[in-house]
Amino acid sequence: MTEQIEVLTTIAFEDALIEKLAAVSPRLHFRVARAAKVEEIPPEIWAMTEVLYTDRIMPAPDAVPNLHWIQFHWAGVDHALDAPLLQKPGLVVTTLSGAAASQVAEYIVMMLLNLGRRLPEAISLQRKESWPNDRWERFKPRELRGSTVGIVGYGSIGRQVARLLQPFDVRILATKRHVMQPEDLGYTFDGMGDAGGYMFLRLYPPEALRSMLKECDFIVITTPLAPHTRNLINAQTLEAVKPGAFLIDVSRGGVVDHTALIAALKEHKLAGAALDVFPKEPLPADSPLWKMPNVILTPHIAGITTHYNERAAVLFAENLSRYLEGLPLYNQVDLAQGY
């Protein structure tokens, strides 16, 4: 009989989802350890684990001599890049890129419409019980139809945004590290994203970001946080932005330089922003962003959904099948690139 594969998950998956995962193959033996710390899992369990599904719990490399693969529960792994475990020779590391694409893309479209229609100001007037005489001028919208939307980071979320925007007749521009490979090689759920890479008008390399920003009415930041993307949106890049553009950031805190962002908002270089991620979370109470009338702030909630674990299990099951067949896994992390 083929040797059994020990799979340890530290995530509290529902029993029905564990059953579906175990049904991938009789070779898979699942252990569910709903733990918050490494020490809460017995050393003998760590020692036999071949596949680890986790969010942030990572033992020392010598504690897991049989570990071959880590599947992270989230799309971003910037929190784990310095962990000694990730330097274990031969270890494969994968993310759940794609599992949050649907809900985050919907959040982005919502914010595009809210900003373009000046909804924050309208809500402010409602609270003041004010009916402005200059409303025809004050609320001239930036319509999505006919506008240019620039997506910084054409990954699973950016591709789903492009799909959702198709009926709006917008010009979609995007940046991607490998512009000669527009296809999506990661996991794509049926009916989602842009697997073939054809829903944009132009694709730019990261080095041409400023050239793209000059044309954008809306800028959507979806790139991962890595050493080369930290402060990617800074004073220099914001200088290239088309006056009156709006910015939506759902990436990671640190991709957008908030000092430069606040300056661009105060100087009306940017007409407004919607921010779900911040360099420091929670956002400090003394941040000027709290009181800016042209800014929408949300507490890192764009990816929340009641369907996340279900989608996570679908992707994990697909990767388990590929692991058993010796095929390349979806969403492998390039540690040199940081994502």
DSSP annotation of 38 reads G
pTM for the full predicted model = 0.95
Helix (H, G, I), strand (E, B) or coil at 118: coil
What is the separation, in whole angstroms, between the first and last Cα of the chain?
A: 37
Q: Which residue reads 């310095």 in tokens? A: 82
Whole-number Å distance between alpha carbons of 252 and 279: 8
Alpha helix positions (H), 145-279: 156-164, 209-213, 235-239, 258-266
Whole-number Å distance between alpha carbons of 34 and 270: 45
Q: In this structure, how many other beta carbons lie within 10 angstroms of the beta carbon of residue 297?
A: 15
Structure tokens at 56: 């942030």
Could you tell me whether strands 51-54 and 270-275 are parallel, antiparallel, or unpaired per DSSP bridges? unpaired
Whole-number Å distance between alpha carbons of 308 and 73: 10
Show pLDDT as tens, one digit a residue, over the chain (339 residues).
469 999 999 998 999 999 999 999 999 999 999 899 999 999 999 999 999 999 999 999 999 999 999 999 999 899 898 999 999 999 999 999 999 999 999 999 999 999 999 999 999 999 999 999 999 999 999 999 999 999 999 999 999 999 999 999 999 999 999 999 999 988 899 999 999 999 999 999 999 999 999 999 999 999 999 999 999 999 999 999 999 999 999 999 999 999 999 999 999 999 999 999 999 999 999 999 999 999 999 999 999 999 999 999 999 999 999 999 999 999 999 988 888
Residues known to be catalytic: 252, 281, 300
Helix (H, G, I), strand (E, B) or coil at 187: coil
The answer to whether the beta carbons of residues 32 and 14 sit under 8 Å apart is no
In order of their start, the domains of the chain are 5-99+306-325 (3.40.50.720), 101-297 (3.40.50.720)
